[in-house]
Structure 1
Amino acid sequence: MDHHKHPDKVSAAGLLIALGIIFGDIGTSPLYVMQAILGEEKITDEIVYGALSCIFWTLTLQTTVKYVILILKADNRGEGGIFALYALVRRHAKWLTIPAILGGSTLLADGIITPPISISSAVEGLQILYPTLETIPIVIAILTAIFLVQAFGTKVVGGAFGPIMMVWFLMLAILGVSQIIYHPEIFKAINPYYGYQLLANHPGGFWMLGAVFLCTTGAEALYSDLGHCGRGNIRVSWIMVKTCLLLNYFGQGAWLIVHAGEFLHGRKPFYEIMPQWWLLPGIVIATSATIIASQALISGSFTLISEAIRLNFWPKVRLVYPSVQKGQLYVPSINWLLWAGCVGVVLYFKKAENMEAAYGLAITLTMIMTTLLMAYYLYVHRVNLWWVIGFLVLYLSIELSFLAANLLKFTHGGWVSLVIATLIASLMIVWLRAFYIKLRLTEYVKLDDYLPAMRELSNDISIPKYTTHLVFMSNASRVSEIESKIIYSIFQKRPKRADIYWFVHVETTDDPYTMEYKVNVIEEDDVVKVTFRLGFRVEQRINLYFKRVIEDMVKNSEVDITSRYESLSRHNVTGDFRFVVLERFLSVENDLPFFEQLVMKAYFAIKGITTSEDKWFGLESSSVKVEKVPLVIRPIQNIKLKRVYS
């Protein structure tokens, strides 16, 4: 089923997939939200009603209205997520890069805290049955297994996701109802008055927002995974998901009201509302649900990184496509970084309730950035300005309140996620700055000036032939231009005599799935320029695409690729192709401002440990030559050397 043509179509299969992929993160929050809100406080009617009221309205305003109704509209040909939104608006304003980078880096940082907190809170249920059990090794074992499975693609496990989550949501609803029947007046909490009372009049009530916020943390992941399921399926299944979540929260509330005046003392309301005989199966289902939630977050991080690479925010790391399913992607380097981060978080915080402190701060920032980009998107799409201002005011006031309440957690562990986010953001900034510096410093020359020389070189028999077809990867977007370093490589390094010179330029578009190419024959049978236009989610397999281009050109007899060696041409043997990729290094003789020096040094240091250009373009190594070219940056001027006569 192709969601790019009908993102609003709904099907039973699509609904199941949406349950499995999209709602894992938001669907597992009942495990820890109520416990986080109460903390060490005494259980009182005021807190319970107020908290439920806040949860109800947060899920309604934040998740339903902002994400499910409004933001899902902003899809880039069926693809969602903060970078897809950025790709839609980036040509309108330069400063939008800042919210995009901040939002993307905080979202990745969140991917390091969510799996540990949800899996820990599920596994810690075992301590009710086995009080002395050590849960940390179990949590780490589960996390490690999740990350090991990634390389095989989620198709392996994806089939079981929907049905397991279906069981999970039904269990939430049934457990909730089993408590609500004893205390049906709990539904009074839908009245926002109770929420207002808690935030405004209860001592320290406002700071509880930080814990309330945990009920909506999965909303951002829901938008990132839009491409897997389509808008229609997400919207319809959300009705069921939200009903089950609310029933469970209200059920926990009903249980708490019965226990008013007591303290929780580490009890988890989620497990308390389970009958004793159901505990073990309940814990197993909860653990499975949290594994699925972590899976969705991890695949969301992979998508995010692949988009970041194509938007020049991230080093070109290796991407693997484990299965034929579209949107299936595995990024080894990110996988192991996330794994290390998750294990670190578990070892540092030990228990789920300690992780709650670190959780939520990063994701509030992501949501604020999405709000800014979305407001700009609405503005560009000619939505009435008052509506745009209304959207901004409403959501910034909600999210800034959440941010303020979450900042209280900074010293308790919120700093962890911010440190991670800062590292990621600085890498993105270095990468983008370096991209612009390189753009500014690359010299282009007119191709026409060199055509006669290239023709002569082709025909000069005194030079041994380098190859029949010489293919250069070029950054020059104009057909008439070529980088001076390529000319340098052809004539100076060691003259490369070839029959046909090909210049291949790859352009990444703001649209996710473009696949087009243009051919300009600049000099008949001598110089050809090919430009590929590829979407920001298309794998760059230049080898394959280039073969296709050649086949098409041979069919239209635009080019003759039979070998020009006399002995071979009689037998119609095709000529040999060689690709040349020019890798730059920072030349010693340059005169850059201090900050740019730093950026470029960092850039080349990171580049040294990531994938090389030829692998990135998908070229086969047997036919590739990688040449190192100095990136001479404004040579140092007027060197005062004096000759001395002894």
Structure 2
Amino acid sequence: MENSNQQSDDEIPTDMNGRKPQKLRRYDSLDLESAKVNGQSGHGLQQGGSWAVILQLAFQCIGVVYGDIGTSPLYVYASTFPDGIRHRDDIVGVLSLIYYTLTLLPLVKYVFIVLRANDNGNGGTFALYSLLCRHAKVGLIPSQQVEDKQVSNYQLELPSGRLGWSTKVKSALEGSKTIKFILLFFTMLATSLVIGDGILTPCISVLSAVGGIKAATPAMTEERVVWISVGILICLFSFQRFGTDKVGYSFAPIICVWFFINAGIGLFNFIQYDPTVVKAINPWEIVEYFKRNGKDAWVSLGGIVLCITGTEALFADLGHFTVRSIQISTCAITYPALILAYSGQASFLRHHPGDVGNTFFKAIPGPIYWPVFAVAVMAAIIASQAMISGTFSILQQSLSLGCFPRVKVVHTSAKYEGQVYIPEVNFILMVACVCVTLGFKTTEKIGNAYGIAVVFAETITSSFMVLVMIIIWKRSILTVMAYVVFIMSVEVTYLSSVLYKFPHGGYLPIAFASVSMTLMFIWNYVYRKKYYYEMDHKVSPDQLREIAARSNLCRIPGLAIFYSELVHGIPPIFEHYAASIPALHSVLVFVSFKSLPISKIPLEERFLFRRVQSGEPRVFRCIVRYGYTDIRTDEAPFEKILVERLKVFIREECWLKSLQNQNQNQNQQRQQNNTNHDQLMENDGTEEYSKEGIGIKEEETISLNDDDEVEEEEEIEQLDKAARAGVIHLMGENEVVAAKGSSIGKKMLINYGYSFLKKNLRQQDKVLDVPRKRLLKVGMTYEL
């Protein structure tokens, strides 16, 4: 809606009943959706912190971040040599590949490069996409506006000598609608691959760990191992509703013990069997390996790449920790332990090549076999838990940006906001895990599928990182090319190998991703279409005054909260409501929930109000803004917080009005005494003018005149009276159909695909926890 009296959010001092003046913010127009957010810039420790705190976080993140990559020694060699070892030197060649893969991808790429591309302390694909949307107009989310850049959490572009190179690429992206769709597509694809990862990680981790029983007890058949694994998986998913906070940081000691066991056993086997495998440090061993095996060496890359499973967790789980803490834990514990573990297994295989199918458990010294087996099972469960929780978190982010169908998000921890539980998704993941375990039965077959999900997601991250380097970091062409040559080319090579295994199980994550992508595309497509429909048919101020002036419209006491997705005006369904039910409450507030492409927005800056109409009924618009990691449920009832924030808005509005009147009177007086202007300023000295317009010295006291004070008290009293009379929640129940003359594809997508999702998923009132006894739904059909 237009605002003829638009104001900037200047800060003004106030004097509440003679008290010391305070700074107030004035939000005069909801076309300026994104006013400044104060004091929040991500994780408080991202920019520093004491070493004691950093070291504590470094220890804690071991239990959350590294479970997946830490359990990869259970199955890497078995997946690399599914048909056995043909040449003893192949072991050294594979070990050399493992050395440099672990060094280039987890260590160099993620720990020292990608972690720096965090979004105010948060990581993951959506963090990179949000950064790009903020620095270039490449987003397709309809509620984004130019004024969003005023939010302090938006990172400002710094002066650079390479602006020309960056600006050209940025202009090319902003000028191509196709590229915008491609960016959103790959963001959704990465999310879908993470869902596939959340299915395959529990399967391969638990199955590998439980498979250790076969190495000690010949009577344990493969069928029994599979059913034991299924039982563990069902228990694992059944306990998800309690949240990882209950046992979260108790994971760290177990994973630490697991890493020390791996390092210790690896060092023992390295000394005991064949220390000469250390020659794998020489990269020429990789060349020799490819010379001996040719195409088979390239195919084996699909098994070697499993040594970096879970690497995305380094970035995705950044929001709970800090860059420095993850760097310390990786360099001090994770990386050395994995290098020793794989080196020890290679030394063992040089003397026992026939045991490659169960390398980890065969290489354990006899006296400590069962303790290590117990720790291995616990580590596998922890790895699965971390990946499942990560799946919930990334789906919450996609849900907040309108890229996923409505599901109920349960926040399981009051301390850690990122710990969420989604019942519907948890059940689907459990069923999928059980089916995959029963269908594939062996880690070798699951490994064929697992590799595609891992490498594809990492390649997408690298693609986004190239854009971040160019548009945001403004690096030189040589720097970007070095990243592409030394990092991205390695990932593309691994991706080509895992895609070769598509017929042998690699189709599974692609199938999972295709289903997820279809759901996300349908929902996001109709979401945007609905929004633009409401934009084109919104109720204008003149129409609102006409509706309020109708003679047949009766006024009833109470406060009505009308929910809408439209953030630019009053939705068309309101006119339909007024025509069907000719009654308006004394106070009416149009509430819209808006997700900004930033991670967090402080509670005190979350509610933005604007007065649409004064008098009876009093009509307000309210935008409730959230970041993509913010919680949508507050400790106090939503309606109570809304009323309190509305009172603050009314007080600020009255004080601003009084301030404007006082300044207007002072300006008129100055114009009348223009000849004595300099003398007046010197003697008075109680007023300053800023470039924005209004400024007042902090020691000056401003008081409301009697009329303004009476007006403020009356309006707040009317608001309290309306709230006491009863609060009713009005929600539009929109039916969407394809417009006449639409293509068959569009009709299928909207009339059948979207309608099916809407009927079988959570309704909006359940997602928002609206009290059902005070909920009134108003139906209307949109022709899109």
Same topology, TM > 0.5: yes
Aligned residue in 2 for 1:5? 44
The 5-angstrom pairing of residues 613-632 of structure 1 reads 613-632=764-783
TM-fit CA distance, 1:130:
1.6
Matched letter for residue 320 of structure 2? H
Return the match for 1:68 from 111, 125, 129. Answer: 111
2:418 aligned with 1:327, yes or no? yes
CA separation in 2, counterparts of 1:191 and 1:283? 33
Matched letter for residue 330 of structure 1? Y
Which 10-residue stretch deviates more, 65-74 or 48-57?
65-74
Aligned residue in 2 for 1:250? 343
TM-fit CA distance, 1:247:
0.3
Return the match for 1:411 from 503, 526, 529. Answer: 503
The 5-angstrom pairing of residues 288-367 of structure 1 reads 288-325=378-415, 326-367=417-458
2:122 aligned with 1:31, yes or no? no
Q: 1:184–1:428: structure 2 CA closer, same or farther, 3 Å change rule?
A: same
Describe the SS at the equivalent of 1:6: coil
TM-fit CA distance, 1:264:
3.2
The answer (yes or no) to whether the contact 1:24–1:292 under 8 Å persists in 2 is yes
CA separation in 2, counterparts of 1:431 and 1:395? 34
CA separation in 2, counterparts of 1:593 and 1:484? 25
Q: Please give the per-residue CA displacement for 1:346-392, whole angstroms capped at 9, x wherever unaligned.
A: 00011222222222112211111111111111111112232123323
The 5-angstrom pairing of residues 18-417 of structure 1 reads 18-42=61-85, 44-90=87-133, 92=136, 93=138, 94=180, 95-133=182-220, 134-182=224-272, 183-203=274-294, 204-239=296-331, 240-259=333-352, 262-264=353-355, 266=357, 268-325=358-415, 326-381=417-472, 382-417=474-509
Q: Please give the per-residue CA displacement for 1:523-567, whole angstroms capped at 9, x wherever unaligned.
A: 224211112221112233488344223224436347736579xxx
2:590 aligned with 1:486, yes or no? no
CA separation in 1, counterparts of 2:453 and 2:291? 25
Return the match for 1:560 from 695, 707, 715. Answer: 715
Return the match for 1:606 from 727, 739, 757. Answer: 757
Which 10-residue stretch deviates more, 384-393 or 295-304?
384-393
The 5-angstrom pairing of residues 442-461 of structure 1 reads 442=534, 443-456=536-549
What are structure 2's unaligned runs of at least 5 residues?
A: 1-40, 139-179, 652-711
Q: Please give the per-residue CA displacement for 1:495-532, whole angstroms capped at 9, x wherever unaligned.
A: 12221221112221111111422211122242111122
TM-fit CA distance, 1:43:
5.2
CA separation in 1, counterparts of 2:723 and 2:401? 41
The answer (yes or no) to whether the contact 1:502–1:529 under 8 Å persists in 2 is yes
The answer (yes or no) to whether the contact 1:43–1:256 under 8 Å persists in 2 is no
Aligned residue in 2 for 1:474? 564
Return the match for 1:441 from 533, 553, 560. Answer: 533
CA separation in 2, counterparts of 1:163 and 1:541? 33
Q: 1:588–1:230: structure 2 CA closer, same or farther, 3 Å change rule?
A: closer
Aligned residue in 1 for 2:729? 579
Q: 1:363–1:312: structure 2 CA closer, same or farther, 3 Å change rule?
A: same
Q: 1:541–1:550: structure 2 CA closer, same or farther, 3 Å change rule?
A: same
Q: 1:277–1:148: structure 2 CA closer, same or farther, 3 Å change rule?
A: same
The answer (yes or no) to whether the contact 1:40–1:263 under 8 Å persists in 2 is no
CA separation in 2, counterparts of 1:310 and 1:587? 24
CA separation in 2, counterparts of 1:311 and 1:247? 43
Aligned residues: 618
Describe the SS at the equivalent of 2:732: strand
Matched letter for residue 431 of structure 1? W
The two structures, once aligned, show a CA RMSD in angstroms of: 2.2
Q: Please give the per-residue CA displacement for 1:31-72, whole angstroms capped at 9, x wherever unaligned.
A: 111122122233533211100000000000011111111111
The answer (yes or no) to whether the contact 1:210–1:360 under 8 Å persists in 2 is yes
CA separation in 2, counterparts of 1:48 and 1:588? 60
Return the match for 2:513 from 416, 421, 428. Answer: 421
CA separation in 2, counterparts of 1:40 and 1:122? 21
CA separation in 1, counterparts of 2:737 and 2:267? 70
Q: Please give the per-residue CA displacement for 1:295-352, whole angstroms capped at 9, x wherever unaligned.
A: 0000000001000101211011000012212211111111111111110110001122
CA separation in 2, counterparts of 1:144 and 1:364? 27
What are structure 1's unaligned runs of at least 5 residues?
A: 634-646
TM-score (ref. length: structure 1): 0.91
The answer (yes or no) to whether the contact 1:444–1:482 under 8 Å persists in 2 is no
2:54 aligned with 1:15, yes or no? no
CA separation in 1, counterparts of 2:375 and 2:260? 11
TM-score (ref. length: structure 2): 0.75
CA separation in 2, counterparts of 1:191 and 1:338? 42
TM-fit CA distance, 1:76:
1.1
TM-fit CA distance, 1:112:
0.7
The answer (yes or no) to whether the contact 1:468–1:563 under 8 Å persists in 2 is no
Q: 1:627–1:156: structure 2 CA closer, same or farther, 3 Å change rule?
A: same
The answer (yes or no) to whether the contact 1:43–1:263 under 8 Å persists in 2 is no
Which 10-residue stretch deviates more, 162-171 or 142-151?
142-151
- Which structure has the greater CA radius of gyration? 2
If asked which structure has higher relative contact order (CA below 8 Å, sep 6+), I would say 2
CA separation in 1, counterparts of 2:374 and 2:263? 17
Give % identity. 28
Aligned residue in 2 for 1:531? 623
Matched letter for residue 257 of structure 1? R
